[in-house]
Structure 1
């Protein structure tokens, strides 16, 4: 017999078993096609996706390896520590394989030419190229240029699988404007075919100490380690730059990335493919510091005039043959205005050797011009050294001057890296003196004053007494510069 309690329990069980299971569904998206603003955003998004898909087919993932010799951890040869490395014995060093990752992009699919950064492939014993279709091949370096950080690599296998691949076109980076939308492609941290979106933050960025030649495009598109060598493309799908470096305290992207402009990439890559090297122009001058107001006045430059101040003309160079002299201020090369030493270095250094250029410059307050046939930049453009002379000591305008002597001033020469072998050396400068106000320092070697050579302190005294202002040419730690001294 079923009790009442048992009956109720069975009924509840039957009810719960018999009820259908309840399923919750999230609300579905409503039709938003009527909003014009949203339609524009969707079109932009679709356009960016289309550009990304096309460009990604030309991106190459580059991995390199090289064998280096190194000692076991903590093992230091005392002789090497104090005197530099000797010829290594086989048992002294272990061989270690180092690897690195970077990016590149295809510019000629038929020939298998890939452009990347020099620092990606520099010193590599083996180069592996993984294409966007998943195939991997060995690469060889056609040429590289450390001064601009551009390199060209070619796929060794002429019959490599080209299915699904494409090539990118180098656009005109001069047309790029601040605020232009760009895409950065590459393999950050080894994550292949990654894409970031941003704008051009600035163009013509110089003085970055990334390379010795060329300016850069700055972008906030995320660039991270592994992006090096990848393309920076505009909204036309053309390459406007090559991702090269970032400014970051952490090593990761901080929204400040730099790319080599496509015009420079094209110029260097063409020479590397054709000749395997870059024969860049050489003027044969050492440049001084940037021109401030005091220097401009001492050089008798027009108000507001900037330029590149020549500190020294090397003998037997194109500049010497064209009649250029120290204290000349170069203001134009052909039609390119020169407002700084970096602009002159870039303008001349990016021209091929043998180019004839018209150089305009100021000398003694007058604008002059000359024609220079650029030479080829030498591997060691150091000037020859001159023999020393010996004279007495003296003190003027708050500084102690001595004739530079090879033996007597050996410690000074070593400590301050002095290259001059004649002139007068400053051994002391009094605080709050005229010499200190002019920026003169102990270890400076005074070479000329108002274009007159200085062989002894009395030469400087004579010029100082007879002139209201003195323009001093000096050497400081191997670099030549000028100082303006007022009486």
Structure 2
């Protein structure tokens, strides 16, 4: 009997388990089907606002674009880093529309394109987003267009988003959207190479050959937040550039705040009375602890905007109102070529600066026996090809110092030295060796490329007496290197700062919770006391009312008693009269 019961029980368990296992895949399949419908819905709603941006010049350079107005598209600057002959956009239905660049911003890697036809569908903008939000990236993905893939917001700030999403060729400029199909941000590039061109494209057998940089974070990417994209595109449309604030100071970390180490003459800071060694505590009401925080606030302000700065000067607090200036864009090679001779420094090579190694291409000289008075940068094969240098190597002049042999001889920034005397120049040591072999006041012929043409310049190099001058230059350059190294560490510092802020926020939340709990307890106690007081008052009122009713009833009883007494007396009188009447003899009669 026991065996029979156990067998029946086992069969029932197996039956219910089988039914449960059969039902689980059905639910999973239903969830997957629902998710697929949502993704397809997002792709369908967003696709009309997504375009492919193509720049051509015997090669093709491709990126994704987002329609922000009926005839305006925002995209990634990567697509125009190389020289191009034609640029156009291609919609999802295959229409190709010629376009032109309205404005560009190297700092954010955004460009704004305009078409003649007002036929585009502007994308909708998201109002909010948060870390952990699910997002979809819509754009060019390898050869697929439009393509969609999913990710998550891993980190978020006003300046950048970090997404847990892959970046593929053509993905730069892709739209990052939420479940409603609203724009959260725009893909800038892969994490770790956010400030480098993402991919290079070549024509190969009528197809696009894709070459890209690889790193360990292939599934993370940077994106520009939607609010920042909107703000930048507005400036690009109005001015063709982004107008950023400029203060005119050099900053370093101080004891109490951010220390000013240098004030540029006739700058907004100089006009407002800021001085060297002032320590900045607050800018526009916001506390600052690092130079990068000051820079971020200033760049976010508009030119001619007034801002209040609180600082310490010789340990005394001081407030200063500064009228912010406009930051000038860094000069490109082409602008420098048409500029004045002499002390002109090339600050940026827009086509290649980001792809160059940070330090390897910079060469410094310390107390050379003979020198020209220039700063040099080793020419990479890419730069040699760009500037049509047949030799393939050389030294590019990035700065010509005043009152030096180079300035007197007529050298200019962006001149490319390929030969000195009879020796080909590949490195700075090659040039230094040629110069040091010269006799005093001996002239050397130096061949340079200028605007693509080879020319010869004769020069008598300066002597060793300016060694201290070069040392100063080397020291200044080392300061620049330190700043760059500090920038490389900024991510770690920002992470630590973010952790510190989170801890402070948690502490504030805890203190706020304890304070609110204390207030709630006090309020509850006060309410209880008030309740007891009100109850006592109500009780007293009821008693008083009850007493009044009793008194009234007593008065009514007294009144009734008196009335009864009167009635009794009246009845007694009547009874007495009746008796007297009965006793009296009747009066005579006939």
TM-score normalised by structure 1 residue count = 0.58
1:369 aligns with 2:331: no
SS of match in other structure, 2:148: strand
For the 8 Å contact 1:223–1:253, the answer to whether it is kept is no
Q: Give the structure 2 partner of residue 56 of structure 1.
A: 47
For the 8 Å contact 2:63–2:78, the answer to whether it is kept is no
Write the distance in 1 (CA, Å) between the matches of 2:44 and 2:217.
23
Deviation string, structure 1 residues 241-280 (Cα, Å, up to 9, x no partner): 1101103662697111000111111111011112222222
Q: Give the structure 1 partner of residue 266 of structure 2.
A: 316
Query: Where do 5+ consecutive residues of structure 2 fail to align?
Result: 1-20, 193-212, 332-341, 344-365, 377-397, 403-468, 484-590
CA shift for structure 1 position 233: 1.0
Q: Give the structure 1 partner of residue 170 of structure 2.
A: 226
Say if 1:51 and 1:320 are closer, same or farther in 2 by CA, change over 3 A: same
Q: Give the structure 2 partner of residue 245 of structure 1.
A: 189
1:149 aligns with 2:109: yes
Deviation string, structure 1 residues 273-327 (Cα, Å, up to 9, x no partner): 1222222211111233xx3xxx52xxxx2xxxxx543221101100011111223
For the 8 Å contact 2:367–2:471, the answer to whether it is kept is no
Write the distance in 2 (CA, Å) between the matches of 1:480 and 1:331.
26
Q: Give the structure 1 partner of residue 154 of structure 2.
A: 201
CA shift for structure 1 position 411: 6.5
CA shift for structure 1 position 195: 1.0
Q: Give the structure 2 partner of residue 171 of structure 1.
A: 126
Give 1 or 2: higher strand fraction: 1
Q: Give the structure 2 partner of residue 124 of structure 1.
A: 84
CA shift for structure 1 position 481: 8.1
Deviation string, structure 1 residues 205-260 (Cα, Å, up to 9, x no partner): xxxxxxxxx83210012222211111111223211111011036626971110001
Say if 1:369 and 1:42 are closer, same or farther in 2 by CA, change over 3 A: farther
1:343 aligns with 2:343: no
Q: Give the structure 2 partner of residue 281 of structure 1.
A: 245
Q: Give the structure 1 partner of residue 74 of structure 2.
A: 115
| Larger RCO of the pair (alpha carbons < 8 Å, separation 6+) | 1
Deviation string, structure 1 residues 157-204 (Cα, Å, up to 9, x no partner): x26xx4xx63212334xx322111111111133421111101011123
Write the distance in 2 (CA, Å) between the matches of 1:258 and 1:407.
43
CA shift for structure 1 position 103: 0.5
Aligned residue runs from structure 1 range 29-44, under 5 A:
42-44=33-35
Write the distance in 1 (CA, Å) between the matches of 2:400 and 2:261.
14
For the 8 Å contact 2:53–2:65, the answer to whether it is kept is yes
Write the distance in 1 (CA, Å) between the matches of 2:369 and 2:274.
32
Write the distance in 2 (CA, Å) between the matches of 1:32 and 1:272.
56
Q: Give the structure 2 partner of residue 26 of structure 1.
A: none
For the 8 Å contact 1:420–1:445, the answer to whether it is kept is no
1:185 aligns with 2:151: no
Give 1 or 2: higher helix fraction: 2
Equivalent in 313, 329, 333 of residue 279 of structure 2: 329
Deviation string, structure 1 residues 46-77 (Cα, Å, up to 9, x no partner): 323211221122110111024xxxxxxxxxxx
Write the distance in 1 (CA, Å) between the matches of 2:84 and 2:251.
35
Say if 1:231 and 1:336 are closer, same or farther in 2 by CA, change over 3 A: farther
SS of match in other structure, 1:177: coil
For the 8 Å contact 2:246–2:298, the answer to whether it is kept is yes
For the 8 Å contact 2:103–2:236, the answer to whether it is kept is yes
For the 8 Å contact 2:375–2:400, the answer to whether it is kept is no
Q: Give the structure 1 partner of residue 231 of structure 2.
A: 267
TM-score normalised by structure 2 residue count = 0.48
CA shift for structure 1 position 480: 10
Write the distance in 1 (CA, Å) between the matches of 2:67 and 2:94.
15
Say if 1:34 and 1:333 are closer, same or farther in 2 by CA, change over 3 A: same
Say if 1:364 and 1:169 are closer, same or farther in 2 by CA, change over 3 A: farther
Q: Give the structure 2 partner of residue 424 of structure 1.
A: none
SS of match in other structure, 1:61: strand
Query: Where do 5+ consecutive residues of structure 1 fail to align?
Result: 1-29, 67-96, 205-213, 302-306, 386-405, 422-441, 447-473, 483-487
Write the distance in 2 (CA, Å) between the matches of 1:230 and 1:218.
14
For the 8 Å contact 2:175–2:183, the answer to whether it is kept is yes
Write the distance in 1 (CA, Å) between the matches of 2:165 and 2:296.
26
Write the distance in 1 (CA, Å) between the matches of 2:99 and 2:281.
44
CA shift for structure 1 position 414: 6.5
1:358 aligns with 2:308: yes
SS of match in other structure, 2:154: strand
Aligned residues: 322
Say if 1:308 and 1:481 are closer, same or farther in 2 by CA, change over 3 A: farther
Say if 1:49 and 1:282 are closer, same or farther in 2 by CA, change over 3 A: same
Aligned residue runs from structure 1 range 332-481, under 5 A:
332-379=282-329, 445=472, 475-477=476-478, 479=480
For the 8 Å contact 2:374–2:400, the answer to whether it is kept is no
Deviation string, structure 1 residues 72-125 (Cα, Å, up to 9, x no partner): xxxxxxxxxxxxxxxxxxxxxxxxx3320101011112xx11111122234433
**320-329 or 137-146: bigger deviation:** 320-329
Two-structure CA RMSD over aligned residues (Å): 3.8
Write the distance in 2 (CA, Å) between the matches of 1:444 and 1:365.
34
Q: Give the structure 2 partner of residue 140 of structure 1.
A: 100
Which is greater in Rg? 2
CA shift for structure 1 position 410: 7.7
Runs in 1 of length 4+ with deviation above 4 angstroms? 30-42, 406-421, 442-446
